Amino acid sequence: MSHYNRVALIGLGLIASSMAHAIRANGLADEIVGHARSTETRATALEIGLVDRVFETAAEAVQGADLVVLCVPVGAMEAIAREIAPHLAPGTTVTDVGSVKQAVVEAVAPHLPAHAQFIPGHPLAGTEHSGPRSGFATLFVNRWWLITPLEGNDPAAVTRLKDFLTGLGANVDEMDVTRHDLVLAVVSHTPHLIAYTMVGVADHLRRVTHEEVIKYSASGFRDFTRIAASDPTMWRDVFLTNKEATLDILGRFTEELFMLQRAIRMGDGEKLFDYFTQTRAIRRGIIEAGQDTAAPDFGRSPTTTDPAKK
């Protein structure tokens, strides 16, 4: 299991705070330092013991760190990269947790010095909550953490980072940058856009009252609202920076939707049954892969104590 002397977390939201908890729980670093723009966030991070030291600037935070993790929205990556570049020690590994990879590579890689290793990454884990108090040590357990090594990366640095992420509890896999953005457009980005749209439709549909929408939310709509409660800044940046892949998948979704509309209009029960049978098999595959539970109500209950389900 890899160990770093000093880990610098740039941005102290859900992912960074969960990393800090997991690093401490598994003894993966001698020191954790952090940076956040907000004075309140910095104070909270110290108060709850997320970091040993917190800095007003990212430049200060990265000094002396041998692992730097960029946990800021994709749209803020370039400015952070420019700021920290002159202050990175030789041999430092820089990674990120952005949901888009091509845009992050273009924003970060050109500004970092040759003596630093930039190895982009993306944990496929999260909740609808944000902020330094939202993290918990088990967020990454049995979740995939994709890394997209770049040409010229030191294999030893890549191996060290992979071992560290495994130490956080994650399953680590490597993927090409372009492939990553296409896959995530299918499994994450477009579903989020659809969730935002469905919640927006319910909000604007005057034939159904606001009180009815809230009171009678069954699991389907309720889960749309959970997804649609995700951080708006992060998701704005995701759609603006993974535009081509998202529009491609959204176009395919629209074609499928038109097909289903026609089947419903024409009373084609066989078409609907076959389609739903096929999609049900995907759900079974997700459960068999250990990425969700087969428990009723998606494993949640109103009295759950799991912080990931709050």
H/E element holding 27? none
pLDDT, one tens digit per residue, over 222-255 is 777 777 777 788 878 888 888 888 888 889 889 9
CA dihedral 81→40→136→58, nearest 10 degrees, is 20
pLDDT tops 90 at residue 119: yes
Mean pLDDT check: name the lowest of 58-67, 100-109, 191-200.
191-200
Residue 306: its pLDDT value, please? 43
Average pLDDT over residues 195-219: 72
- CA 249/CA 255 separation, integer angstroms: 10
Domain of residue 76: give its range.
4-175
pLDDT, one tens digit per residue, over 129-187 is 889 999 999 999 999 999 999 999 999 999 999 999 999 999 999 999 999 999 998 88
Residue 216: its pLDDT value, please? 67
Together in a domain, 99 and 204? no
Together in a domain, 212 and 171? no
Q: Are 225 and 201 in contact (CB under 8 A)?
A: no
Q: Is 29 helix (H, G, I), strand (E, B) or coil?
A: strand
Mean pLDDT check: name the lowest of 32-46, 48-62, 222-236.
222-236
Flag whether 268 is in a domain. Answer: yes
Together in a domain, 188 and 151? no
Instruction: Report the number of distinct structural domains present in the chain.
Output: 2
The domain that holds 254 is classified in CATH as 1.10.3660.10
Residue 305: its pLDDT value, please? 39
What are residue 95's phi and psi, to 5 degrees?
A: -135, 175
Flag whether 301 is in a domain. Answer: no
pLDDT band, residue 210 (cuts 50/70/90): low
DSSP per-residue letters across 46-94: HHTTS-SEEESSHHHHHTT-SEEEE-S-GGGHHHHHHHHGGGPPTT-EE
Together in a domain, 241 and 276? yes
The domain that holds 130 is classified in CATH as 3.40.50.720
What would you report as the CA-atom Rg of the chain, rounded to the nearest whole angstrom? 21
pLDDT band, residue 22 (cuts 50/70/90): very high
Give the domain-ending residue among 144, 175, 206. Answer: 175
- CA 140/CA 19 separation, integer angstroms: 8
Flag whether 128 is in a domain. Answer: yes
Q: Is 219 helix (H, G, I), strand (E, B) or coil?
A: helix
pLDDT tops 60 at residue 214: yes
Together in a domain, 123 and 186? no
More confident residue, 55 or 242: 55
Together in a domain, 136 and 282? no
